[in-house]
Structure 1
């Protein structure tokens, strides 16, 4: 495969990577802008030698109230939508059962691979602002939690 596109067979990849870098409570939280090829582990099967040529670029970010695979992705409340920006607020109620705050960062052409990180139990809400993509530049996504 010589294409610059993300190979679909990597959907079964076992990704070993530390998730987003989380700052102190009330501060900016960020998804990494890309996942480097050496951080991607592919279980390709007997006789196959995997190779990841290019880094996977950040595609999207969102929040969930449980660990990856729990299917507890949150919809959030849309605060602002313009031609260039979409801002969504996610609220977490203190003391509610299974009400954990997780940051989910998706990578690839359509978010085929994601990494997630649990945030502090002190987090009460997060706002994810996605800016319109600019060709040739990394996607810009701002995440603020308090």
Structure 2
């Protein structure tokens, strides 16, 4: 009788493991820096002295050209770390996107779509090694 239960238990474990892998959200991360290429302007010589470092991250409503910044979030201030949590459990007709800002004033942004199934995202900030740089841990469920 134990031989008959062994495949059943094994099958249940395989199904449960596969379901957990499908249900678990993929990690969400912003690249820590971006390189900027030189700009060609007639009559001028340009140079780039360094890369731009991650300064901010937040979910947005729709692609970046729509400028769908989310105004509603909760914040948790702190000296060493601070965080922002966004409720994403509502309709986003143009999709949920992640926007990562680089440079002290977010001179460059990178954006990509987020899975529609995400219900919330928390962004935990701490100061980075470079001036204006932030380390940002993103946790979405």
TM-score normalised by the chain length of structure 1: 0.67
Is 2:45 the partner of 1:46?
no
Deviations 1:76-113 (A, max 9, x none): 4224211222211112235x252521111111122111
Q: Size of the alignment, in residue pairs?
A: 118
The unaligned stretches of length 5 or more in structure 1 are 1-23
Match for residue 57 of structure 1?
53
TM-score normalised by the chain length of structure 2: 0.69
Match for residue 30 of structure 2?
31
Q: Which protein has the larger Cα radius of gyration, Structure 1 or Structure 2?
A: 2
Relative distance call for 1:64 and 1:84 in structure 2 (3 A) is: same
Which of 117, 132, 139 is 1:122 aligned to? Answer: 117
Deviations 1:107-141 (A, max 9, x none): 1122111111111112221111111x154485210
Relative distance call for 1:115 and 1:142 in structure 2 (3 A) is: same
Relative distance call for 1:98 and 1:41 in structure 2 (3 A) is: farther
Q: Does structure 2 retain, via aligned residues, the 8 Å contact 1:91–1:124?
A: yes
Q: Does structure 1 retain, via aligned residues, the 8 Å contact 2:35–2:50?
A: yes
Q: Does structure 2 retain, via aligned residues, the 8 Å contact 1:62–1:103?
A: yes
Q: CA RMSD in A?
A: 2.5
Is 2:67 the partner of 1:86?
no
Relative distance call for 1:67 and 1:25 in structure 2 (3 A) is: farther
The unaligned stretches of length 5 or more in structure 2 are 1-22
Aligned-partner SS, 2:123: strand
Match for residue 110 of structure 1?
105
- Give the CA deviation at 1:75: 2.7
Is 2:70 the partner of 1:74?
yes
Relative distance call for 1:51 and 1:136 in structure 2 (3 A) is: closer
Q: Does structure 2 retain, via aligned residues, the 8 Å contact 1:76–1:89?
A: no
Match for residue 144 of structure 1?
139
